[in-house]
Structure 1
Amino acid sequence: MRPEERIRPHAVPEVPGGDARHDSWRREFPGEVASVPAARAWAHGLLAVRLAPPALDDVLLLLSEVITNAVTHSDSCRTAGGRVTVHLTHDPGAVHVEVTDDGSTTSTPAVHVPDADSDGGRGLWLVDLLATAWGSSRHDDEAGRSVWFQVPE
């Protein structure tokens, strides 16, 4: 398994599928920093009536971190017309979030232990800390990379 496809060993990801009890939404955003608050506001509007505040706060924080990474470290921000796509799924018991960007030849998602005096580098560390499961994958058939996570309801 490639490092970027790491899944926390104690967690088994549930892939949203044929269960009629889930809600699912997808939206594309420009590959720019202004998309971070826009994606957060969009997700808040969809999930605020479905999740208790602690779970909603975790989802919004982790979404902010993952989409910030996508628009900062991928080709989504380096190429004209770059995009990031956010896919949210709310199943009974969990929220699954996937952020897809245009990929990168210079960086790979990785957890770093943050320095106490550093202004950044906490994104995937927070995801690893708060999510019940997470992972990433490179799209072999097309340019792009996805990072996903799950948060209990």
Structure 2
Amino acid sequence: MRPEERIRPHAVPEVPGADPCHGAWRREFPGEVSSVPAARAWAHGLLAVRLAPATLDDVVLLLSEVITNAVTHSDSGRTAGGRVTVHVTHDRKSVHVEVTDDGSATSTPAVHVPDTDSDGGRGLWLVDLLATAWGSSRHDDEAGRSVWFQVSG
């Protein structure tokens, strides 16, 4: 099965008073490069008390790669007012992160083996390497695309 054909789980809203080890959060960011460190800081703040440091580092790194791709390669970063939405879901077994952007008519998410002397091109390669599962999907009923990943933890 191709990654873009995988089923996207939907985040469940956080329930007040629920087990503090579980949670679901959503935040929208502008489709600009400055959103990358903002999203990293937001996710780190949510998950720092919930995850082991090594797992937290992996999640924040992969989020950074995916949101960078969304801002760089989708209409979210190419059109005025573009937005990127990040969903983070955590339970006792894993962290699920989904980044939704405005889509692109000229590119689709794909893993490329990076050149050793290249400054970029490692985003989905790292996701494929570190995540326990990942995928992407185009939204048929609306403009946009999502890339998601899951990390055990």
TM-score, normalising length: structure 2: 0.90
Task: Give CA-to-partner distance per residue, 1:51-72, whole Å, 9 cap, x none.
Answer: 0100000000000000000000
Aligned to 2:91: 91
Q: Does 1:42 align with 2:42?
A: yes
Distance 1:75 1:58 in 2: 27
Give the aligned residue type for 2:51: L
Give the aligned residue type for 1:5: E
Given that 2:13 and 2:25 are in contact with CA atoms closer than 8 Å, whether structure 1 keeps it comes out as no
Distance 2:8 2:55 in 1: 18
Task: Give CA-to-partner distance per residue, 1:39-91, whole Å, 9 cap, x none.
Answer: 00000110001001000000000000000000000000111100000000001
Given that 2:24 and 2:87 are in contact with CA atoms closer than 8 Å, whether structure 1 keeps it comes out as yes
Q: 1:15: Cα distance to partner?
A: 5.5
Aligned to 1:144: 144
Q: Does 1:130 align with 2:110?
A: no
Given that 2:86 and 2:97 are in contact with CA atoms closer than 8 Å, whether structure 1 keeps it comes out as yes
Distance 1:18 1:145 in 2: 21
Given that 2:3 and 2:134 are in contact with CA atoms closer than 8 Å, whether structure 1 keeps it comes out as no
Q: Does 1:51 align with 2:16?
A: no
Aligned to 2:103: 103
1:67-82 equivalent positions in 2, closer than 5 A: 67-82=67-82
Q: CA RMSD in A?
A: 2.0
Query: Are residues 99 and 115 of structure 1, via their aligned partners in 2, closer, same or farther at CA, if it must alter by over 3 Å?
Result: same
Query: Are residues 113 and 86 of structure 1, via their aligned partners in 2, closer, same or farther at CA, if it must alter by over 3 Å?
Result: same
Distance 1:15 1:102 in 2: 18
Give the gaps of 5 or more residues in structure 1.
Answer: none
Distance 1:16 1:142 in 2: 19
**Matched residue SS, 2:135:** strand
Distance 2:133 2:34 in 1: 27
Given that 2:75 and 2:102 are in contact with CA atoms closer than 8 Å, whether structure 1 keeps it comes out as yes
Aligned to 1:5: 4
1:61-72 equivalent positions in 2, closer than 5 A: 61-72=61-72
Distance 1:120 1:14 in 2: 29
Aligned to 1:26: 26
Give the gaps of 5 or more residues in structure 2.
Answer: none
Task: Give CA-to-partner distance per residue, 1:94-114, whole Å, 9 cap, x none.
Answer: 000000000000000000000
Q: 1:93: Cα distance to partner?
A: 1.1
